[in-house]
Structure 1
Amino acid sequence: MHSLSRLVLAVIATLSISTQVLAFDVTTQSLVKTGYATSQVTTGPFDSKLIIAAQDDAAVFVASDGQLRGARLESALAYLRQSRPKLHASDLELAQAILVQ
């Protein structure tokens, strides 16, 4: 095999590994964020009736990738943001955390 062919194969292998690592990194980052949001929603006192009532709306919100927002979900999100001002999570991450309840 020519040295140029070996170099091309090595570059392709490196790019393939880099792409896989990046994909893993993005997936892992998303899981960590969602896990953090879930831990913030599930720890400490909160109005469980409000959170539980928002589960159906949260499911629709997650399934629609954030396009459909129900009134109960909006109420739960407002409550969570007001009661936990240091919580830095997107609405989608919070909706996923509500589904875990």
Structure 2
Amino acid sequence: MSRLRLLSATALLTVAVGAQASSFVVTTDTTVRALDASSNATSKISSSFHDDKIVLAARDDAASFVASQGEIRGAKLEGAMRHIREVVPALQASDAQLAQAILAI
């Protein structure tokens, strides 16, 4: 009887470890894809607007926005985000991604 319990416990442990490993892989893949998308959006914006006066004027507001996790939204940042979205209408970037890209310029 003791061997049966030991084998059952081993089988359950093996199944549980396999489930955790596959869950970790899915979570990691999702995180990497999200970071890659964010990085691509940031690099497209920062390379396109490195000499744009409207965007450059919004750097302090962008820093406040990022530091406050979106709580502080300055007028210059709002204008720069509107300007970027007008110039590049196909760009699919969140406000946080735009603020980070402005800081990267």
Larger Rg: 2
Match of 1:57 among 38, 58, 61: 61
- CA deviation string 1:17-64 (max 9, x = no partner): 233223322321221121121122133466522222212211221222
SS of the residue aligned with 1:43?
helix
Q: Which runs of 4+ in 1 moved over 3 A?
A: 43-47
Q: Aligned partners of 2:26, 2:65: CA distance in 1, in Å?
A: 27
SS at match of 1:66: coil
Counterpart of 1:33 in structure 2 is 37
Specify the alignment match of 1:94 in structure 2: 98
Counterpart-to-counterpart distance in 2, 1:40 and 1:33: 11
Does structure 2 retain, via aligned residues, the 8 Å contact 1:61–1:67? yes
Looking at structure 2, the residues matched to 39 and 56 of structure 1 have their Cα atoms a distance apart, in angstroms, of: 19
TM-score between both structures, scaled by the size of structure 2: 0.79
Q: What are the ranges of 5 or more consecutive residues in structure 1 without an aligned counterpart?
A: none
**Conservation of the 8 A alpha-carbon contact between 1:60 and 1:69:** yes
- Give the gaps of 5 or more residues in structure 2: none
The alignment yields a C-alpha RMSD, in angstroms, of: 2.0
Q: May I ask how many residue pairs the two structures share in their alignment?
A: 101
